[in-house]
Structure formats: structure tokens, C-alpha cells
Chains A and B, each alone.
Chain A
Amino acid sequence: MSYILKGKTNNWEIVVGLEVHCQIISNAKVFSGSSAKFGGVPNSHVSFIDAAFPGMLPHLNKECLYQSIRTGMGLNSKINLYSRFDRKNYFYGDLPQGYQITQLFYPIVGEGYIDITLEDGTKKRLRVERLHLEQDAGKSIHDRAPHLSFVDLNRSGVGLMEIVGMPDISSPEEAGAYLRKLRSIVRALGTCDGNMDEGSMRCDANVSIRPVGDKNLRNRVEIKNLNSVKFVMQAIELEAHRQLAIYEEGGHVTQETRLFDSIKMETRTMRSKENALDYRYFPDPDLPPVLLTQEEVDEIRRTLPELPEDRKNRFIKEYHLNEYDADILSGDNKTAEYFETVAKGRDTDKAAHWVMGDLFGALNKLGKSIEQSPVSPSNLGKLLDLMAKDVISGKIAKEVFELMLETGKDADIIVEEKGLKQITDTSEIEGMIDTIIAENPETVSEYKAGKTKLLGWFVGQAMKASKGKANPGLLNQLLTKKLG
């Protein structure tokens, strides 16, 4: 479905490109040996290098480079055998060097793409322009003293990957799908934890609109401070409508940077200083170029963790899932792992059904992630086994599952304790049927007179008498026989 803004004179389409900053998962910072861990005592994860003391020089953490390459591979991108670091010069309180080390001229990763699937099944390929490796800035706190800002450099120098998307996105929904897909890729690769609320994944959106059919791009607005997928989608929508209103009134959209305010639900212009900066990029003379060999790159590819896309295809092939289910179950590592533990050696259809239905529903209600699930995957597997071996019926299984959620106990223990084992003893079931037939002679004659629909009523009565534990197949078979 294309996303069109209807104006008075024109129909408008939106053009969006996202720039996403992903904090790299590594032990040490990208250009020093201090810890890259989040938080900590102020200025404790800081070396003289991070604090840009006189005479200090950066040195490269190989893992940060490799993490960038892995991510590039996840984005189906070209890995550049020649790349180089540049300095981006500007003054700010949390930027100790007075410049950020980044890669403008020769990034480590070149063009690639992300394939997205929208809710209605539409597929789209969104191109990625580049990924470059750079360092994060420190953090400043503004609310601890009236006239002072407090600077903590713990984050200063943590490795960042900036992923620059092409302006291929044409709806808020596509933007959301792009971000979620990107997040599932970096998480699958273990290169970034993708937590937007903690700021380990941060997004800026470049938004412009143009009349449908127009090929030229109009002035774009960069929106900063978008710390959730929802906010990104909302901000794009708001900004598109703001621009629409301006154009409809014959106005002009200024190319600028705006901030998204999720409380007032508006975008507003940032102080214009930010807009007029010349960052004076030049090659960092402290860092020689990164020269990779094809063998080195191939080796990284060989040891790459499975990507969500590959996993999805494998799920379809190996577990015979439909595309929709496979997409959901393969999206993140933990879910995929959970599902695979449940599905291995079992009815995969049932496994998918239980994970996506009962389990997801319950976790949703409890507000828990799959890692926090009170029911372990092996335990859910045991429950499925009990059903497969006719020890319990599907109906009882739901009851057992509820108890597993509450108690965290094993399925077989619950079945044992609560005496929920299915009755498969023919004589026991026959006894129950006999009693029901004896107590309801009129219904029996109605049935015999041809009202065969009443069989269901008899099944219900017998089930009730067995407290739901009678094996349904056996019960049916015996009832039909007895009722003649």
C-alpha cells in the first residue's frame, strides 16, 4: 500500500532516509583499552586517551573493526579492502578531542540493502549507502546544578557504527520495518544490542515530501532524538504533515535540523548554530589506513553467525513453516533458539502453534521477554510430548500450561500431582458411558430414532464425568458402539 498525503491541489509522497547509530558490542573502546561497558562510576571507564590528554594517541581495537564488517555483511554490503579514519572537527563539552574520529572519505562498508516485509505481505528492498566506524561522545548532564553541566566521559570513545540508508523509504510503516529488521540483524550478529531506549541504537530521520510523480527531491529536514521505533514513525508522519501544510500555503521548507518532542507531539527547530557547521573533515594523521585482504574478509564471513534472513529460509525448509510464522520465529536469536529447542524432534506445526499462540500470549500478559519466560523451552517440549503420547488431551494441556506458568514446575510433575493423566482404560470409560445411558433413557431413544447429532451431547456428559480426562478418540469410539 502506498502512503499518500492528500493535499488541496496535489497528492504528495514522502521520501525518508534513516541514519542509524549502533553502539558496538565489545569489551574495550574503539581507540583505547578502557571498558566499553554502559554506566559505571563517572569517568571510571576512561583512560587518558579517551579524555584526550596532551600527547595521547588513539589505537584501533580490531574487534570493533570486525563487528563493523560483520554488520556490513548482514546488510549484504560491499566490504571495502581500503578504508581510513578521518577527523570531524567541532567543539562540544562532551567531545574531549575537539574532534570525532569517523570515516567520511573511505568507509569500511559500502553499498548494501535491507529487505523488509510489510504487514500486508508487500516486500521492498531498501538500499543502504554505507556503514562507517566512529567513536561515541561522552554524556553531559544538565539538571544537577543551575549554571553548570556535568560531563561524564564513560561513553566517550565507545565504538559506533553509523548506518546511512538511502532515501528509499516512503511511509512511516516502512521506516518502522527497516529499523526492526536492522535491529534483528545486529542482534543476530551480536554486533549491537539494539536497545533504543538505552541509546545503544539511535536514529536520525531525513524527511522530505514531493508531489506524486515528481522526480526531484525537495529540501529535507533532519529529525534528531528519536529513541524508539514508534517515535521514528510518529515523527516522520508529523514532519510530513508539517511540510505539507507549508507547501500547501505556498511556503518554503528550510533545510534544517529539528528535534522531535514526544510529549508535545511536534518537531521543532534546533538552535541554528548546529545547522551552519563546517566540520572540517580531514584524514586523521594518527591512524594509518585500514588495509584488509580478501582472505581476512572471507574468514570473517565464514564464522559469521546465522542471519535472520537465512534462518527464516531454513525454518521454512526444515520445519515446514509458512513464511509469516517463519518470519516471526526467526526474527531474534532468543525466540529462534526457544522455538528450535521446542521443535527439534517434535511436531513442528504444533511447536510453532504453541510458541506463537499460548506462549507469546502469556508472555505478553505477564510483560515478560522470552528470556524471562517461566516456562523453559525444554519444558514446553515435554508438554508437547505428553500430548503426542496421548497422556493428556489438548484441552488438559492448556490447563497444565497455565499451571506451568504459575509454578514453573515441569509438565509431567503437574500432570502427576494433579492426576490429569488421560483415561485410556476401556472398562473405566465403558462404566461411565453405561451410567449416562442408564440415567438418560429418553435421550437414548431420541438418538436411536435418528437424532444422531445428540452424540455430541453424550460425549460432553462423559467428558464431564471423567473431569475431561477421558481419551476423546476412545470415548467416541465406545459411545458409538454402545449407542448402537
Chain B
Amino acid sequence: MLFTAVSVLVLAGALLGLAFHRFRTTREEARSTLLYAELAKKYFAWLALRAIQMSRRASSKAWWEYLKGLPLWRAPVLEKWLYASFYASFLVLAGSGFFFTVFVPRGLYGFPLVGHVMAGGLFAVCLAAVVLFKGREFIAVPEPARLGPRKAGVTAARARRWSFWLFALAGFLLILTALLPMLPLLRTAGQKLMFELHRCSALAALAAAAVFAGLEAFAAQPTAGASGPPGPRPPRST
């Protein structure tokens, strides 16, 4: 129950944060408002309006068109299938895992569990490949530390990098916490710890993925609301 509440709060926070970033970045009234209460009022009004607009535009056909239009499909064949497998396996994992955690008291079991495990294997391979071949794009780190004043703050670029590495770290922990319980090493307490760590890592991965995808989608579509539902964009190749 506690985990469910935390999950909801974390995901809601991530999504609201992304939406607020978009609001601040794209709306003139957001920049011209100084009072927090006024800002919040305008933000939620915009959010409600945006939600209504999106729900009116959203349809299976619109989603399909959006998916077909993703730059992912224009990537080289290996890269295309790597990302397709990566995204699909992660969606299956997140969908099955969180649905059963939140809505099924017994947790994940039966055929969904088998699907979850199979998707987990695919995800592990894809994650290793993505970190191996694309991690370098996110290795840009700050200037060397110095004692004098320096530029600070959370920028979109930094958030994108951090979310990538947070996702990679959480993914690594997900693999590890799936692997270790299968080995005859851990006793019951260790097994339970791995299970909790697996859930927490999954939540961290989901939140990081949401932030990363949100920022990527926003970066790809600077004119907000102009071309259908937001979605992930493949990392730019070097």
C-alpha cells in the first residue's frame, strides 16, 4: 500500500513537473506571472485545457499516425530494432509490474509474470546495448569544480542527462535484483530485500523514463500541441 502511494506520488510529480516545464517554456503568461498562487492557478487552468484538447484529438488512429511518424523508424535497421525492442520491453515491464502491484493484491503471477520475465530478458540485453553504444552522448559533465562562483540550477539538458543515467542505474539494479534471487545465494531476508529493491528500482526507472521521454518529446516539438500526442524520441545519433 505504501509502495502504491509512493508510486502514484512519484509518477504524478514527474508528469506534473514535465507539464510545468512545458508551461513555463511555452506560455507567455507563465513568464509574466510573479505570484506563485497566480502562477499555479494559470498552470492548472492551462493543464486542464491541454488535457481536454489532447483527449479530443486522441484516437487510435491519431496514436497510430503519431507512432508511424516517430523518427525511430527512419533509423538504421539495427538501431531501429534495438530501440523498438527497448521501448516495447520497458512498456511491457512497467505496465505489467505496476498494474499488478497497484490493482492486484496477490501481485504479479501467472502468464503476466512469464511475460514480465521474458520482457525482462529482452530489456536487459537492450539496456546493456543502449548504455554501451549511446551512453557516450550523455557523458557531458560540468566544468571542473572550482571554488569560485559557477552556474547552477536544473536545466533541461541536465535533467535529460541525469534521467538517462538514473534510468541506466535503475535498469542495472533491476537486472541485478532479478538475477540474484534466481541464484542459490540469498536467504529469505535477502530475497525479500531484493524484491523491495526491484520494486523501488522499477519506480525510479519509470520516473526517469517519464522525465527523459517528456523532455525528448518536448524538444522534438517546440510548438506545443501542434502535432498530436507527445511521445518518445530516439536519442540523436552522433
Does A pair with B? Answer: no
